Amino acid sequence: MAVIKSPGIVFRVIKYRETSIITDIYTKELGLRSYIVNGVRKARSSFPAALFQVGNILELVLYEKSSDTLNRIKEARAEYVYKEVPYKIEKSSVQVFIMELLGKCIKEHESNQDLYAFLRSELEYLDNLHSGVQYFHLKFILELSTYLGFRPLNNAGPTTPFFNLQEGLFEDRSSISYHIDEIRSGYISQLLAVNKDDLPQLKIPKSMRISLIEDLLKFYQYHIEGFTGLKSFEIYRQLF
């Protein structure tokens, strides 16, 4: 049995028996792993339950036997403490949305340090974002696709105004099956091009943002086998 030190991001937590949990954590050194944490819901637990909230960024010392078994955690502490996400409903709802998305997209049991660095950076960026929260997850979905291997080609122009959800590029004609209309396609091109720091400058109406989320989730369905809708999308509809 190896002992590994690694930061990690909590992806999922489920209760196990009376006082324990099983948690999926995306680690920098090992990829996605599942751990059982005993007694976490006891009053004097060495691992407080609050430590294992979905989205938390932890510093971990891990017992590692196999990627396909439940392993155990030797030590855990918060590596980054959120300042605003837990206390601002807009930010906490966005985090719930993106964490559910990640849980459906990332299954690999091997290290991908570039992907880990991206996720860590994005979660901290959301926490410190002053404005433009309503656009953050639209940009996040597109940026995540880069690390998943199917980032769209931003070749939009006067002769290629229609975004093809299946092919991930802009084309000259529309078909009912795979294309979205010119207006939504134009917004996707804007989102692909915009820098995160310039998100607050976007002017996308709420109804259009909802349509774009639906479009981008359908785009993911074309590229990730077994990808299904997000329950947290309903929260998005109400808040944004």
pLDDT (tens digit per residue) in 116-133: 999 999 999 999 999 999
Residue 181 DSSP SS3? coil
pLDDT (tens digit per residue) in 3-18: 999 999 999 999 988 8
pLDDT (tens digit per residue) in 159-191: 999 999 999 999 998 777 789 999 999 999 999
CATH classification of the domain holding 15:
2.40.50.140
Last residue of a domain, one of 47, 63, 80: 80
Structural domain including 218 reads 89-239
Which residues, 6+ apart, have CB-to-CB distance to 232 below 8 Å?
A: 93, 96, 97, 100
Last residue of a domain, one of 80, 105, 139: 80
Q: CA-CA distance, 156 to 154, in Å (whole number)? A: 6
Residues 162 and 63 both lie in one domain: no
The predicted pLDDT at position 52 comes to: 95
Q: Please, what sign has the CA dihedral across residues 190, 192, 198, 200?
A: positive
CA distance from start to end of the chain: 47
- In degrees and rounded to multiples of 5, residue 237 shows phi and psi of -55, -40
Report residue 8 as tokens: 């990690």
Last residue of a domain, one of 56, 80, 104: 80
The count of residues in the chain is: 240
pLDDT (tens digit per residue) in 61-95: 999 886 667 899 999 999 999 999 999 999 999 99
Residues 69 and 130 both lie in one domain: no
pTM of the shown model: 0.92
